[in-house]
């Protein structure tokens, strides 16, 4: 099949439903999930400025949606809580995704993108990455460019370390800088509460603080000599068996000391969630959102209510996971 043929008659991707070709020019809405890192093992600082990771991602039911509509130029708008913190210029990850996909197909990036934002901005829950994955999928469908799934995942990795997982969803181990994914076996659904903080934390600043703390602790390792990070077999077994108690015991985030160092008030948030009956709590990724694993839906509601009353966070949200990755709301793309 030639490249021209592929564009004329999009080949179904491996995860696609077998649906009729989509009429061109109709707006496409894709939603993509937030993530929590149930294990984030951070290795040494690499020469390219990234850290090697063993990053166990779990997608949760907080979503952003991105709608791509026909337009001659590239336009972006954003609504929802936190929209004021989202840049509406070429640095927006959804805009970068549209430009990258257009360049890959040698076409103009004409699209009107609208983000309906529900994932906290700079909260350690990969909201910008969700928008990038959603925009890629929405533009690919709107433009009829029929990019194979493996190529979409490569484009995601160019956009950011967390972006491939926003496309993949579920539960996955991210190696390398987090972009090299292997899907993990998981049973059932886990119940989470997220304590949202006022203001964000900068991801590079948190990684820098992690290096600084390690060097200051005199571990005998400089930032570029840390042992290779590995997934915890007990955590993988807990996911496989759907055992929330065992997962609670294995939750781990090497960035947590750095996030706490930059935002000491998060210690009170973690204490409040644990005191309210959560099985365990940890900083989500680079923070400052804190994630609490609970025994069931009723317990999640009780923990969320107690966290809101505690005054140690801006708001608390319940969520479940794992959930699927980026997908069209009307079911036209996988
Ligand atoms: C903290 C996590 O959210 C955990 O999933 C991710 O590691 C961050 O992923 P992300 O936000 O997609 O980050 P990127 O946009 O790829 O990188 C932003 C910056 O974070 C730092 N960074 C990121 C990923 C990584 N494995 N090592 C790093 O040191 C680098 O300073 C990098 O310049
Ligand atoms: N579409 C977008 N949504 C939110 N932030 C964006 C977007 N595009 C660019 N940004 C910029 O990226 C920064 C980080 O945003 P994001 O919400 O992805 O952080 P995060 O959830 O902490 O990321 P991660 O967990 O992947 O490290 C923001 O402060 C903002 O300046």
What is the spatial distance between Cα 162 and Cα 123, in angstroms, rounded to a whole number?
13
* Inside any domain, residue 40: yes
The CATH number of whichever domain residue 90 belongs to comes to: 3.30.230.10
Same domain, yes or no, for 46 and 175? Answer: yes
Same domain, yes or no, for 206 and 308? Answer: yes
Backbone angles phi and psi of 94, in degrees to 5: -70, -40
* Inside any domain, residue 52: yes
Which listed ligand is nearest to 163 at the C-alpha? 1
Last residue of a domain, one of 149, 165, 184: 184
Same domain, yes or no, for 235 and 158? Answer: no
Same domain, yes or no, for 180 and 261? Answer: no
Last residue of a domain, one of 116, 150, 184: 184
Known active-site residue 162: yes
* Inside any domain, residue 13: no
Q: What is the pLDDT of residue 9?
A: 29
pLDDT tens digits along 222-279: 666 778 999 999 999 999 999 999 999 999 999 999 999 999 999 999 999 999 999 9
Query: In angstroms, what is the span from residue 317 Cα to ligand 2's centroid?
Result: 19
* Inside any domain, residue 31: yes
High-pLDDT (> 90) share of the chain, %: 85
Same domain, yes or no, for 154 and 287? Answer: no
Query: Which of 248, 316, 304, 246 lies closest to 276, judged by CA?
Result: 304
Which listed ligand is nearest to 131 at the C-alpha? 2
What is the spatial distance between Cα 154 and Cα 180, in angstroms, rounded to a whole number?
10
Same domain, yes or no, for 75 and 103? Answer: yes
122 is in an annotated binding site: yes
How confident is the prediction for the chain on average, in pLDDT? 91
In this structure, how many other beta carbons lie within 10 angstroms of the beta carbon of residue 243? 17
Known active-site residue 35: yes
Count of structural domains, the chain: 2
Same domain, yes or no, for 127 and 165? Answer: yes
Same domain, yes or no, for 172 and 273? Answer: no
Full residue range of the structural domain in which residue 160 is found: 26-184
- pLDDT higher than threshold 70 for residue 221: no
Same domain, yes or no, for 174 and 209? Answer: no
**55-69, 101-115, 163-177, 225-239, range with the lowest pLDDT:** 225-239
Pocket test for ligand 1, best of 153, 159, 203 (most atoms within 8 A of CB): 203
Which positions ≥6 away from 299 have C-beta within 8 Å?
191, 277, 278
Give the pLDDT band (50/70/90) at residue 13.
Answer: very low
Query: In angstroms, what is the span from residue 51 Cα to ligand 1's centroid?
Result: 8
Same domain, yes or no, for 174 and 196? Answer: no
* Inside any domain, residue 168: yes
Same domain, yes or no, for 150 and 261? Answer: no
Report ipTM (2 d.p.): 0.97
* Inside any domain, residue 1: no
Give the pLDDT band (50/70/90) at residue 334.
Answer: very low
* Inside any domain, residue 21: no
The CATH number of whichever domain residue 314 belongs to comes to: 3.30.70.890
Give the pLDDT band (50/70/90) at residue 330.
Answer: confident
Query: In angstroms, what is the span from residue 126 Cα to ligand 2's centroid?
Result: 7
pTM of the model: 0.92
pLDDT tens digits along 285-327: 999 999 999 999 999 999 999 999 999 999 999 999 999 999 9
- pLDDT higher than threshold 90 for residue 142: yes
Same domain, yes or no, for 161 and 262? Answer: no
* Inside any domain, residue 287: yes
Pocket test for ligand 2, best of 98, 116, 122, 282 (most atoms within 8 A of CB): 122
- pLDDT higher than threshold 80 for residue 198: yes
Last residue of a domain, one of 139, 161, 184: 184
Is any atom of ligand 2 closer than 6 Å to the C-beta of 123?
yes
């Amino acid at each position: 099949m030639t490249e021209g043929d592929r564009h004329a008659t999009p080949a179904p991707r491996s995860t696609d439903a077998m649906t009729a070709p989509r009429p061109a020019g109709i707006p496409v809405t894709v939603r993509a999930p937030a993530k929590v890192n149930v294990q984030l093992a951070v290795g040494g600082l690499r020469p390219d400025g990234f850290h090697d990771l063993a990053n166990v991602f779990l997608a949760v039911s907080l979503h952003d949606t991105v709608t791509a509509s026909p337009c001659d130029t590239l336009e972006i708008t954003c609504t929802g809580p936190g929209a004021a913190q989202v840049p509406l210029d070429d640095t927006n990850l959804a805009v970068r995704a549209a430009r990258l996909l257009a360049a890959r197909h040698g076409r103009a990036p004409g699209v009107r993108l609208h983000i309906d934002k529900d994932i906290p901005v700079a909260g350690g829950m990969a909201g910008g990455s969700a928008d990038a994955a959603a925009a890629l999928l929405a533009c690919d469908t709107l433009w009829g460019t029929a990019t194979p799934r493996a190529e979409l995942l490569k484009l995601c990795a160019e956009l950011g370390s967390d972006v491939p997982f926003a496309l993949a969803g579920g539960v996955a181990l991210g190696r390398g800088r987090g972009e090299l994914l292997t899907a993990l076996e998981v049973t059932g659904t886990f119940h989470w509460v997220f304590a949202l903080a006022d203001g964000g934390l900068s991801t590079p600043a948190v990684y820098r603080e992690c290096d600084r703390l390690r060097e200051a602790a005199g571990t005998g390792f400089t930032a570029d000599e840390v042992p290779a990070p590995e997934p915890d077999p007990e955590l993988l077994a807990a996911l496989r068996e759907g055992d929330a108690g065992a997962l609670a015991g294995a939750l781990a985030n090497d960035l947590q000391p750095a996030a706490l160092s930059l935002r000491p008030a998060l210690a009170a948030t973690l204490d409040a969630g644990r005191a309210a009956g959560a099985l365990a709590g940890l900083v989500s990724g680079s923070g400052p959102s804190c994630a609490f694993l609970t025994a069931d839906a009723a317990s999640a509601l009780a923990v969320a209510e107690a966290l809101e009353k505690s005054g140690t966070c801006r708001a608390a949200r319940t969520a479940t996971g794992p959930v699927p990755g980026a997908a069209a709301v009307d079911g036209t793309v996988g």
